Amino acid sequence: MPGFRVHITGSTLVGAGYAAATWAIGGMPPATCALAGGLCAISGMLPDLDSGPGIPLKESVGFAAAVIPMLMIHRFEQMGLPMEAIILAGAAIYLGVRFGMTWLLQNYSVHRGMFHSLPAALIAGQVAFLVFGAEDPLRRYFIASAVVLGFLTHLVLDEIWSVKLGMFGPKFKKSFGTALKFYGPEAWSNLLTYVLVVVLGVLAAGDAAWTERTQLMRQQIEQATRTFQTYQGPWQYRR
Ligand SMILES: [Zn+2]
């Protein structure tokens, strides 16, 4: 199993490539590209959150707790919350993730369980999509894909490390095939994972439709205000 450093290096390189490629193609603001690259790098730590107490758990949970509320700032603004409420909500999410997630992971997860699988990568992407509220749907997909990419980089690295090249061809370690998997040996955790995938998928689809509708409405209102402002009615006084 590759160590923490290999994982963070791998996902950082992939993230930098993802950001640079998108920036080169164009269409995304440089800051969005940089954010996606950073998120991809961090997401490379996510699958090993279930490996028990240690640097990955402490660092990644702390990081997630800090980053998630910041990604959500625009969501809070969309809800029309005042600044004070945004700060309070951010603090509550920080505490919830910091302590709630640690507790959940330490009590209810097995290493290389379903937390460390392909559907879990999808869940991470769906959560990122829901958390990162942007009017432009393309930007949300871009950010969510960065998280999935970082997660997948980790799984692929785990699989690569489980193959050892010997004198008589490749040798497969016992851990081979436990990272890039669709389901695990435990039925209930498989069920829970796929229920989560479906629920989050429905939420994300509904949210995407809602954002699109409100954006359309906003555009129409802006358009109407503009035509109203340019219209010089007979009732307007010229000063
Ligand atoms: Zn791993």
Q: How remote is the CA of residue 152 from the centroid of ligand 1, in Å?
A: 10
- And the tokens for 61? 């949970």
Prediction pTM value = 0.82
Model confidence band, residue 170 (pLDDT cutoffs 50, 70, 90): low
Query: Which residue is associated with the tokens 């829901």?
Result: 130
pLDDT in tens, 6-42: 889 999 999 999 999 999 998 889 999 999 999 999 9
pLDDT in tens, 218-237: 788 888 888 877 765 566 55
Higher pLDDT, 92 or 164: 92
| Region of 177 on the Ramachandran plot (φ > 0 left; ψ -120 to 50 alpha; else beta) | left
Q: How remote is the CA of residue 236 from the centroid of ligand 1, in Å?
A: 69
Q: How remote is the CA of residue 66 from the centroid of ligand 1, in Å?
A: 23
Burial class of residue 174 in the structure, from the number of CB atoms within 10 Å of its CB (0-12 exposed, 13-18 middle, 19+ buried): exposed
Model confidence band, residue 134 (pLDDT cutoffs 50, 70, 90): confident
Looking at residue 209, its pLDDT comes to: 86
Q: How remote is the CA of residue 136 from the centroid of ligand 1, in Å?
A: 33
Q: How remote is the CA of residue 10 from the centroid of ligand 1, in Å?
A: 12
